[in-house]
Structure 1
Amino acid sequence: MSADALLDALDPEQRAVATALTGPVCVLAGAGTGKTRAITHRIAYGVRTGVYAPGSVLAVTFTARAAGEMRTRLRDLGAAGVQARTFHAAALRQLGFFWPKVVGGAPPRLLEHKATAVADAARRLGVEVDRVGVRDLAAEIEWAKVSLVAAEDYEKAVAAAGRPLPEAYDARTVARLLTAYEDVKGERHVMDFEDVLLLLSAMLAERGDVADQVRSQYRHFVVDEYQDVSPLQQHLLDQWLGGRRELCVVGDPSQTIYSFAGASPYHLLAFRRTYADAEVVRLVRDYRSTPQVVALANRVLTVGRRPGDVPPLELVAQRPDGPPVRYSVHDDDEAEARGVAARIARLVAAGTRPSEIAVLYRTNGQSEVLEQALATAGIGYQVRGGDRFFARREVRDAIVLLRGGARSADPDVPMPETVRSLLLPVGWAPQPPAARGAARERWDLVQALVALADELAAKATAGGTVATVQDLVAELDERAAAQHAPTVEGVTLASLHAAKGLEWDVVFLVGLSDGLLPISLADTDAAVAEERRLLYVGVTRAREHLELSWARSRTPGGRANRSRTPFLAGIWPDDEARRSRALPGGDRRRTGPAAVGPVDEALLARLRTWRDGVARETSKPAFTVLTDAALEAVARARPTTDRELALVDGVGAVKLRRWGSAVLAVVRDGPGRTDPDRPGREIRLGTFST
């Protein structure tokens, strides 16, 4: 492919990215706008035109899967020599190369998990920990290290950041644990993943000869998902650059969802301040999703936007119309899961591949009821974030057979046919087992290898070559190193965080109730804003079908005390219907759980004043008291009793118990007003409670 042909495959904005080969470049890329396509074509175009030597480019991203996909695309574009790695993989490789020369001997062994070292450190301090405590403390240690916060500065840093501490531990205890944890690692001669970046950064800063060698090799840097860089990753990037300006960053502030782990969009938003002459390109043409999905994604961000917020990129759909977004409400979580399973069964029966369907949720604990419903319906599934594909025994055994068969394969037999024969002993068969269970799960895993063999053979034939079993083994070795698993034919269950960077034809977003999204722990404006971005990420995973649902109760027969997520206020169809059915002249008849009369603007203003006061008193975001949509519904209904207030959409049992008497007082008289019959007597509004 010629250099010009590379550009022919791009839209005008993507082409602007591909041809901006020198100097600082910032690409603001919305979800589904082809950012990976743009930056891989940029690298390939730079190689084809001679501006880049392949070995002088280092492209870094955040997941091994994304790095593996980038390498595959670059190889297909004729830029196979470019290094595409995660921050940690690139740093570990350099650290391993320079350690014997700078320090001597082998580098410390990499500590895959912090748990044992954290537990040992806690015991030394006499701090009681259980499994959950160890997990929470390990996460806190990771945050401190990626945020470049030393143990002696930890207390001030968490106070300044407004960061909630792990339950049952105060800041001083965590600070002491940070020191003890480092002592434990030193005694064991191990390093954690954060140490890899810290040690390499220090080596580059202190040893000019090492820095010169690295900088002489890598002259051009590309950083994907730049909105998620931590202070530690930025520090390492600065050391790699050494004051040079050959940097291209790609990101979207609206997809910042890892702040709890130290990620920050600051560096992306401040890029123009750092590099005043940087070329900025905005990618907003959405090629992934239908106009219906794109419209909802845009509204999720804009409806809740506050004054001073960074304006989000407004996506422009490029695909033809698709089905409308579906919304549903269920009595309880089990009913919701059964409903989702039934919808999936119909979609699969109509021809949708299970691997093109995902069910996304806020917390991993929500998956169990969904797994049960899918299993009962006979639908295969995989839980993303569970056992890794290449760690499964069935997969390891299959690769051993393929590796052995590669040496004796008959060159006259097509590779896919040979692969099928080789994999018969590990559970492959021309037809899958009829019933779900271990046998079907094993078949699904092995079938993913067969499908990959078919894909490689087709690609080789299209290129005028013949693929071999050895080619398949080499592909699997590369994918295993990058944890880039082939597609398993089953519905994906994943948390919203785990779904980042992925996409499916059909996406179900479940559990969209207040307390789950936003999560109840989100008690600051910044945390709530991140929860909204998390919903945006979930919406933009869908290509064609998108279904949103929530349940009024957790368990069958339980109290229906949940309310819908406030992020969909004014978007959910019930809200639209109520607005369209509004009756003129102050008619207070009801046609559902909320009044359909006009809004009493004076009452609405009083309600907002009351709510803002409660928010200040309790140090909580205002919407966690009552959402704007709920206040508007109250101002329409003008309830006078607890029962009438309970019928208002957005006022669930919990909020009724906490704020009911105060809201009714505001409706009746308004906060802070005096009783006209008893001058000087202020009407009580009820007690604030949290």
Structure 2
Amino acid sequence: MHQTSLNLEQLRQSLRSSQRPLADWQGGEMAVSAVPGAGKSHSLSVAAAIAIAHHGLHNQEKLLIVTYTRSAAAAIKGKVNQRLQALGLPSLGFAVQTLHGLALSIALRHPEISGLDPEQQTLVSPQRGHRLIKDAVEQWRRENPKTYQALVEAGNFDGETTETLRRQAVLSTEVLPELTKIVVAEAKSSGLSPQDVTDMGRIAPGSELLSMGAGLFKHYQALMAAKNWIDYNDMILAALRVLQDPHLCRQWQEQFFGVFEDEAQDSSPLQEKLLTKLAQNANGTIRLIRVGDPNQAINSSFTPADPVYFNQFCRRCQALGSFATMDQAGRSNLQVIAAANFLLEWVNQDWQTRFSGPKANTTLPFRPQAIRPVEPGDPQPNPPATDGGVEIHFPQDINQEVEQIRRRLVPLLLANPHHNAAILVRENRQGRFVADRLKDVEKDGGLKVLDVGDQDRNSRIPGEILSLLQFIDRPHSPDLLKATLTVLQERQLIPTQDLNALAAVPEQFLYPTPLMSPLSSLAVSAQGLCRSLLKARLELPAYQLIAFLGLALNYDSSDLATLQKLSERLQVQTQPERSLKNLLSALHTIANDEQFEAIASDSDEKYTRPGQITIITMHKAKGLDWDYVFLPFLHQDTLPGDLWVPKGGQFLGQFTLAEVARAQIRTVVHHRQQQKAGAIALPVTATAWQEARRLKEAEEYRLLYVAMTRAKRLLWLSAAQEGPFAWNQMQARQSPRLRAKEPSRALLALQKRFGS
């Protein structure tokens, strides 16, 4: 026993001073706010091993560790096992699960209460273009003809037939599907029903939008039930239904000594409720540690996750004296740390200056917590800086920008083959542009270039082929024509233009009469491609259409390998008759089956191999790090940029219905989470839109912070003086048209502070 205590103290002493409060936890609620590179996973595994050994935990009463991805769960499980083995203890007394895996296991154990039956129900994750959402929109439209017509006639409406059809296309394929997706996700993640959202719409005058969202939500739920489908929020709701039974709840609570949650900044209210319920013991005490970094919350503008919830938990624990900041990090050199800290302070100060006043939203983009270097003698010392550690450049144009990256990066990796590098971009189109211009690096320099965006594009292949085949089968459908034009535009095969205007009357677009106004040059190229697809339908048998479409979409070798895998699967599923009808039916199932994967497989090790240049989005880079990190294209219209109102939907106003609804729902949920008394002041449209814009801006700055803190030895930031008007308007294999671009204000501030 004495030796075990000695070993535990040695294990505790191996942690940094800022990590030890986690290992000293004895019970109750605790919040740990950790900076980038602070060693969350390592310290979490050490704290888990100490708790297991100290309390003598076993498989009948174990520590539950929850994270959000399978890869993270596997990594933490391996680390805890290593710590237990070092202590001479068996690999018992703990369980590591993803949050949704945990919810599913609870729900499936008691199907009579949860209502989940895996043999009868299918898990889906509907996006805006999913058939389910389209059907919900159509049912709502039929049920609310007056409201729908009011939307069609909004703004300056002249009643002209073509404009009416165009607006109807925008509403049915963009505005209402996006509103449905956002309202469903925001409401369900907070445990709200369609009736709850309806009640919100009655709070104040001018909140009819939430009534509309509630109707769409109601039809969505009805269709899900009719098809025996469930989504990820349904899994958590099902688990909570089980835990509402006092006897079953006690059974589950008795299995767990306590709960550790990783990446807590990405939790929704529903997820927090589930973990808090499981962490409560018989006398009402909650044993819950939540570890996260609100400054790395980069999903709140497109998922229900919001750092405000974790920040609220931190404040509650701070009042209880059970809050700690894990603020020492050995990942980056001192200059990178200084730059990241400066960005945090500058953004918060700028925010307070611009949004001051009694009615201002006082929530700052960043939690005020600086990164501190590690202490001397740390086993993971801060690495030495390469040259100055931080470099900032303003090349003439984006072509010169990539060339400067090549000239700086290639010699570094050739001289240091055991090091690695990454070029982090804001969107995949930028990544493709960089990859196209670095193709010869592999051949001439012997370095590997990995464009991670290629894998993301490959995973969309079933959906793209389905869209084109559906159009070939029913070319008179405006929705199907628009879906095909969208695929062609995203693959950069046709110029960016108003697709709703082209798709409103398919016959007039595809085969105009001489009396009609001639098509624009942009539309003519799109028309030609669509006609070639219809011609192939007449000339080729159904089973050859898949290969033809791959060529028509200009798939590269990686795309074609994935397409071949898809084709082989379709051949099996359409036997013995490979008709177009059977092909469409099988492909529709595959396109909505999350089990279909591209040929290339993901692994963190693949992204960080020595001697490799990884081109990856800033979002996907979270959790990874490289010796040399390059951040190009840091322009003001991108970082932070602004919320985009599609030109086709501007007849509704200079805002989007979905973002306004999101802001209104979050206002109500935040009010409830904070348990405030009194009536809720639901923001009107203009106020809600401004709040949505601030949410977007704050998250973009946090994304830049995450990208900067990926760097170990060198951080290279740049913004060319000339770039494309919009990256989605760049055509493949063509020199882009450039215009003057403003660098991000954050980059200018960094240049003033760290520039040579």
**TM-score, normalising length: structure 1:** 0.63
Structure 1 residues 566 and 137, CA gap change in structure 2 (3 angstroms): farther
2:623 aligned partner: 501
What is the match of residue 251 of structure 2? 213
Alpha-carbon distance between aligned partners in 1 of 2:295 and 2:217, rounded to the nearest angstrom: 32
- Asked if the contact 2:191–2:237 (Cα under 8 Å) also holds between the matched residues in 1, the reply is no
CA distance, structure 1, for counterparts of residue 114 and residue 433 of structure 2: 53
Provide the residue aligned with 1:199 in structure 2. Answer: 238
- Give the alignment's Cα RMSD to 1 decimal: 3.7
What secondary structure does 2:720 align onto?
strand
Query: Match for residue 32 of structure 1?
Result: 37
Q: Report how far residue 140 of structure 1 moved.
A: 4.5
1:330 Cα deviation (Å)?
Answer: 2.6
Secondary structure of 1:570's aligned partner: helix
Q: 1:89 maps to what in 2?
A: 101
Separation in 2 of the partners of 1:545 and 1:30?
A: 19
Q: What is the CA–CA distance in structure 2 between the aligned matches of 1:135 and 1:215, rounded to whole Å? A: 39
| Alignment pair present for 1:511 and 2:607 | no
- From 285, 299, 315, the counterpart of 2:328: 285
The one-letter amino acid paired with 2:134 is A
Separation of aligned partners in 2, 1:158 and 1:511? 41
Comparing 130-139 and 362-371, the one that deviates more: 130-139
SS in 2 for 1:538: helix
Alpha carbons 1:330, 1:550 under 8 Å: kept: yes
Q: In structure 2, what residue type is equivalent to 1:108?
A: Q
Within 1, Cα distance between the matches of 2:736 and 2:453?
31
Match of 1:110 among 113, 119, 123: 123
Q: 1:509 to 1:575 in 2, by over 3 A?
A: closer
Instruction: Please tell me whether the aligned partners of residues 26 and 278 of structure 1 are also in contact (alpha carbons under 8 angstroms).
Output: no
Which position in structure 2 is the counterpart of 1:253? 294
Aligned-residue offset at 1:123: 3.2
Work out the CA distance in 1 between the residues paired with 2:134 and 2:622.
31
- Matches of 2:297 and 2:639 in 1, distance apart? 16
Contact 2:108 2:117 in 1 (8 A): no
The number of residue pairs the alignment matches comes to 488
Q: Is 2:83 aligned against 1:62?
A: no
Q: Which has the higher contact order (CA 8 A, sep 6+)?
A: 2
- Percent of pairs identical after alignment? 25
After superposition, the Cα gap between the structure-2 partners of 1:483 and 1:571, relative to the gap in structure 1 and judged at 3 Å, is closer
Partner of 1:268: 310
Equivalent residue for 1:571?
A: 750
Q: How does 1:134-173 map to 2 (within 5 A)?
A: 134=177, 137-154=180-197, 172-173=211-212
Please name the residue that 1:123 is paired with.
Answer: 138
Q: Distance in 2 between matches of 1:39 and 1:568?
A: 34
Q: Distance in 2 between matches of 1:367 and 1:135?
A: 26
Residue 312 of structure 1: aligned partner = 368
Distance 1:92 1:385 in 2: 32
In the alignment, the residues of structure 1 paired with residue 638 and residue 108 of structure 2 have an alpha-carbon distance, to the nearest angstrom, of 43
Give 1:547's match in structure 2, choosing from 716, 719, 723: 716
CA distance in 2, matches of 1:53, 1:183: 44
Q: Distance in 2 between matches of 1:72 and 1:340?
A: 37
Preserved CA contact (<8 Å) 1:62 1:86 = yes
Whether 1:491 aligns to 2:613 is yes
Q: Which string of whole-angstrom CA distances, capped at 9 and with x for unpartnered residues, describes residues 197-240 of structure 1?
A: 112112212x2222111111122001112222111211222332
* Cα distance in 1, alignment partners of residues 25 and 279 from structure 2: 18
Instruction: For residue 33 of structure 2, give the secondary structure of its aligned residue in structure 1.
Output: strand
Is residue 21–residue 51 contact of structure 1 (8 Å, CA) maintained in 2?
no
In the alignment, residue 228 of structure 1 is paired with which amino acid?
Answer: D
Counterpart residue identity of residue 716, structure 2: E
Residues in 2 aligned to 1:140 and 1:341: alpha-carbon distance in whole angstroms: 45
Residue 340 of structure 1 is matched in structure 2 by 405
In 2, are the aligned partners of 1:496 and 1:538 still within 8 Å (CA)?
yes
Describe the superposition over 1:373-404 as per-residue Cα deviations: whole angstroms up to 9, x where unpaired.
Answer: 23243342141693599999xxxxxxxxxxxx
Q: Which of 52, 55, 64 is residue 57 of structure 2 equivalent to? A: 52
CA distance in 2, matches of 1:74, 1:303: 39
| TM-score (ref. length: structure 2) | 0.58
1:230 to 250, 259, 268: 268
Task: Tell whether the 8 Å contact from 2:424 to 2:630 is kept in structure 1 after alignment.
Answer: yes
Aligned-residue offset at 1:113: 4.1
**Deviation of the 1:440 alpha carbon:** 14
Structure 1 residue identity aligned to 2:248: V
Quote the Cα distance in structure 2 between the aligned partners of 1:572 and 1:6: 43
User: 1:24 touches 1:278 (CA, 8 Å); kept in 2?
Assistant: no
- Checking the alignment, whether the CA contact within 8 Å between 1:292 and 1:321 is kept in structure 2 is no
TM-aligned CA distance change 1:120 to 1:104, over 3 Å: closer
Distance 1:104 1:575 in 2: 56
> For the residues of structure 1 that align with 2:35 and 2:255, how far apart are their CA atoms?
32
- Matched-pair contact (CA < 8 Å) for 1:58–1:220: yes
- 1:471 is aligned to none
1:55-100 deviation line (CA, Å, top 9, x unaligned): 5111112222222211121122127442222211111122122215
State the match for 1:637 in structure 2. Answer: none
- Distance in 2 (alpha carbons) for counterparts of 1:141 and 1:385: 30
* Alpha-carbon distance in structure 2 between the residues aligned to 1:47 and 1:149: 37
Q: Is residue 65–residue 483 contact of structure 1 (8 Å, CA) maintained in 2?
A: no
CA distance in 1: counterparts of 2:32 and 2:454, whole angstroms: 30
Shift of 1:35: 1.7
The residue type equivalent to 1:330 in the other structure is P
SS of 1:84's equivalent in the other structure is: strand
Q: Deviation string for 1:78-133 (max 9, x for gaps)?
A: 27442222211111122122215765854632114442321232233347544897
Q: Counterparts of 1:159 and 1:502 in 2: how far apart (Å)? A: 46
SS of the aligned residue for 2:713 comes to strand
Residue of structure 2 aligned with 1:188, choices 214, 217, 227 = 227
- Partner in structure 2 of residue 386 of structure 1: 455
Q: Does the aligned pair in 1 maintain the 2:398–2:722 contact within 8 Å? A: yes
Query: Post-superposition shift, 1:139?
Result: 4.5
Structure 1 residue 177: Cα displacement: 2.0
Which deviations, in whole Å up to 9, do the C-alpha atoms of 1:461-518 show, x marking residues without a partner?
Answer: xxxxxxxxxxxxxxxxxxx9x9755425453322222222222222111221001000
Provide Cα deviations, 1:161-202, integer angstroms capped at 9, x if missing partner: 9xxx9xxx9655443221111111111101001111112112
Deviation at 1:534, TM superposition (A): 1.5
- The letter for the 2-side match of 1:548 is L
Q: Is residue 2:700 matched to residue 1:531?
A: yes
Cα deviation, 1:25-46, whole Å, max 9, x if unaligned, reads 2212111111221111000011
Q: Partner of 1:370 in structure 2?
A: 434
| Structure-2 change in CA distance of 1:518 and 1:158 (3 Å) | farther
Distance 2:430 2:457 in 1: 20
Structure 1 residues 397-408: aligned runs within 5 Å: none
* C-alpha contact 1:60 1:67 (8 A) present in aligned 2: yes
CA contact (8 A) 2:183 2:217 kept: no
Spell out, residue by residue over 1:615-650, the C-alpha distance to the aligned partner (whole angstroms, 9 max, x if none). xxxxxxxxxxxxxxxxxxxxxxxxxxxxxxxxxxxx
Task: Give the CA deviation at 1:543.
Answer: 1.4
| Cα separation, 1, equivalents of 2:401 and 2:199 | 44
Equivalent residue of 1:248, what SS? Answer: strand
Report if aligned partners of 1:390, 1:483 keep a CA contact under 8 Å in 2: no
Q: SS in structure 2 opposite 1:49?
A: helix
Contact 1:68 1:484 in 2 (8 A): no
Q: Which amino acid aligns with 1:563?
A: E
Aligned residue type for 1:553: E
